[in-house]
Amino acid sequence: MKNKNPMTLEFVNEAVINIEKDQTILQASLSANIAHYHICGGNARCSTCRVLVIEGMENLSPMNNKEIALRERKKFTEDVRLACQTRVTSGKVKLRRIIRDEEDRKLYVDGESAAAYQSIGEEKELVLFFLDIRNFTPFIENYLPFDVIHIMRRLTSLFSSVINSFKGKIIETPGDGIYAVFGFDEDINSAAENAYNAANKIMGELIILNENYITRYFEHEIEVGIGINAGVVLIGTKGYNNIGSMMVMGFPVVVAARLEELTKELNNNFLVSEYFYSLLNSDDNPEQKKVYLKGVSEQVEVRLMGEKFNYISKTT
């Protein structure tokens, strides 16, 4: 005889499935062919199966000793449960898997760190790279704080990985953006090529991330604006070996930041200064414009290296 009031699990943007009385959430999701991570085999040791409960917390079994111990060690919030230890006792539960792929696993299990370049008080010609996330305010308005921070971590991880792979160094992560420099350990022409390639790589990887993850799980598309300039700047440190410890200051930095801001006005996601463009080994001839930048008295020649945005907003 069929149960007239089946217990159900709704995995947001994935599936709605039935769960049997004695099944854990992990067992039910695996039975429904959901690729639910469980590295330790469901023994409450790795935490890769954890889920974010959106609705129906009252319909879940109490935490057992294994889950309590891991929660205390990992400092989970109250709306996070271990799928391998949690059962549905009645009704419906709406949740999200937190770790859905290898990049999520790196963020929440492995941890990532990198040594920072340090320099004290010198002038050097560098490439200045500014990136800002567009159309993020609607995402903040429509999703839980956990989801917002989670996607920011995914994006920051992607940007950092690409920038580091092209010998760049992240100086600051202001708001929902990135400020990076290239050229500490190479000549200015090589730095320019690396910064240019990093920008294009980020654009390409973001398309993939949107298609395979953000749009799939959150029904949203993330875009970025990038501005790049080059010039002689002053380098210093604040004394701590981590992101944000280094200071790279000077007028070329201001120009790079203003170019990134101008991407919205010109509706082009990748702008560079004419001087930066001259450093590239390229036969392309992208559109050139003379523009006024905020805080800059004279017009600046820029090159439009990117594409139009799919989404335009004055607030993001």
Average pLDDT over residues 181-208: 97
Q: How confident is the model at residue 294 (pLDDT cuts 50, 70, 90)?
A: confident
**Residue 301 phi/psi, 5° resolution?**
-85, 130
The three-class DSSP label of residue 192 is helix
For 257, the token pair is 């930041």
Average pLDDT over residues 157-172: 96
Give the pLDDT score at 112.
40
Among candidate residues 14, 18, 21, the one with its CA nearest the CA of residue 95:
14
On the question of pLDDT at 163 being above 90, the answer is yes
CB atoms within 10 A of CB 101: 13
Q: What's the CA gap between 266 and 303, in Å, rounded? A: 11
What is the 3-state composition of the chain as percent helix, strand, coil, each rounded to the nearest 5?
35, 25, 40
Average pLDDT over residues 173-198: 95
For 29, the token pair is 């999701």
Average pLDDT over residues 18-34: 95
Give all domains of the chain, ordered by start, each with its CATH number.
8-110 (3.10.20.30), 122-304 (3.30.70.1230)
On the question of pLDDT at 110 being above 70, the answer is no
For residues 257 and 251, the answer to whether their CB atoms sit within 8 Å is no
For residues 49 and 84, the answer to whether their CB atoms sit within 8 Å is yes
For residues 10 and 93, the answer to whether their CB atoms sit within 8 Å is yes
Q: What's the CA gap between 191 and 31, in Å, rounded? A: 51
Q: What's the CA gap between 312 and 136, in Å, rounded? A: 11
For 165, the token pair is 């792979």
For 226, the token pair is 């990038």
Whose tokens are 């299990």? That residue is 109
Size (the chain), residues: 316
Buried b (16+ CB within 10 A) or exposed e, 246-266: bbbeeebbbbbbbbbebbbeb
Q: How confident is the model at residue 238 (pLDDT cuts 50, 70, 90)?
A: low
**Averaged pLDDT score across all residues of the chain:** 89
Give the pLDDT score at 284.
84
Give the pLDDT score at 26.
97
Percentage, residues of the chain above pLDDT 70: 90
Q: Residue 59 has what DSSP assignment?
A: G
For 57, the token pair is 């917390």
Q: How confident is the model at residue 121 (pLDDT cuts 50, 70, 90)?
A: low
**pLDDT one-digit tens code per residue, 83-104:** 999 999 999 999 999 999 888 8
> CA end-to-end span of the chain, whole Å?
55
Q: At what angle do helices 145-165 and 188-209 cross, to 10 degrees?
A: 140
